[in-house]
Amino acid sequence: MSHTEQLGGGLCITVTEEHTFGTDALLLAEFAEVRHNERICDLGTGCGILPLLFHRTSPAPSIDAVECSAAAAALARQNVLQNGLQECITVYEEDWQSLSLPAGKYDRVICNPPYFPENSGKAALSPARRLARQEQGDTLATVTAAAARLLRNGGHFVLCHRPERLADVLEALRGNRLEPKRLRLVHARAELPPFLLLCDAVRNAKPSLNVLPPLILESEVRTCPER
């Protein structure tokens, strides 16, 4: 079953039980600081939530959205068409390891990747949820390598992940010459440990990490199924 949600700015998105979005995507979109004149790539776009969120303001950037799931890519294309954004957003059904997109052409690459190594964490019920939740063919290492390939020198790779994998995230970034420049941890409430990290890394930048004050939501956190 599918249903449509309003995003503001005259935009809406159709989601299904298996291809939806949560608080993570909303926080990542705000943290990314996308500018209207940039060329953007969204790796693992799912239902297309991030490109749509970036288009709530005008003028909007040019976005290439990549998704390896045929069903999710079809849904993302449907969402692009129903919002009349086909001139601004292009959806590619590809995986991160064999991208046809041009190298060194993007100002900003965004990703909300699977959080858990394969066969770890809470078991997902369906193949689609496992793909969104657990690293399979595409891993943290492959997504950072793909981002590094796509970015111009000085371009930004912005991602969200689980705090318990912070060391893995930083290692993968630096291993691909993506220097972490901004880091923020997100808490549902002040007394709870963080549930999300947001990181902005710059290709071939000098070391200097700005750890931002923690973001305290003080509200119910919306999560995707099985995330």
In a domain, 135, yes or no: yes
In a domain, 154, yes or no: yes
Nearest to 200 by CA among 161, 169, 163, 158: 158
**Of residues 9 and 172, which shows the higher confidence score?**
172
In a domain, 227, yes or no: no
Q: Look at the chain and report how many structural domains it folds into.
A: 1
Grade residue 60 by pLDDT with cuts at 50, 70 and 90. Answer: confident
In a domain, 224, yes or no: no
In a domain, 176, yes or no: yes
pLDDT at 61 (0 to 100): 81
**Of residues 136 and 99, which shows the higher confidence score?**
99
Whole-model pTM: value is: 0.89
Grade residue 36 by pLDDT with cuts at 50, 70 and 90. Answer: confident
Nearest to 64 by CA among 97, 81, 37, 42: 42
In a domain, 47, yes or no: yes
CA dist 82 and 135 (Å) reads 31
Residue 54: CATH number of its domain:
3.40.50.150
In a domain, 221, yes or no: no
Helix locations, 41-122, DSSP H: 49-54, 70-82
> Could you tell me the residue range of the domain that residue 16 belongs to?
2-216
Identity (one letter) of the amino acid at 164?
E
In a domain, 166, yes or no: yes
For the segment 109-130, what is each residue's pLDDT rounded down to a tens digit? 999 998 866 555 555 555 545 4
For the segment 160-201, what is each residue's pLDDT rounded down to a tens digit? 999 999 999 999 999 999 999 999 999 999 999 999 999 999
Of the candidate ranges 127-131, 156-160, 220-224, the one whose mean pLDDT is the lowest: 127-131
What's the Cα-to-Cα distance from 17 to each of 3, 27, 133, rounded to whole Å?
9, 21, 14
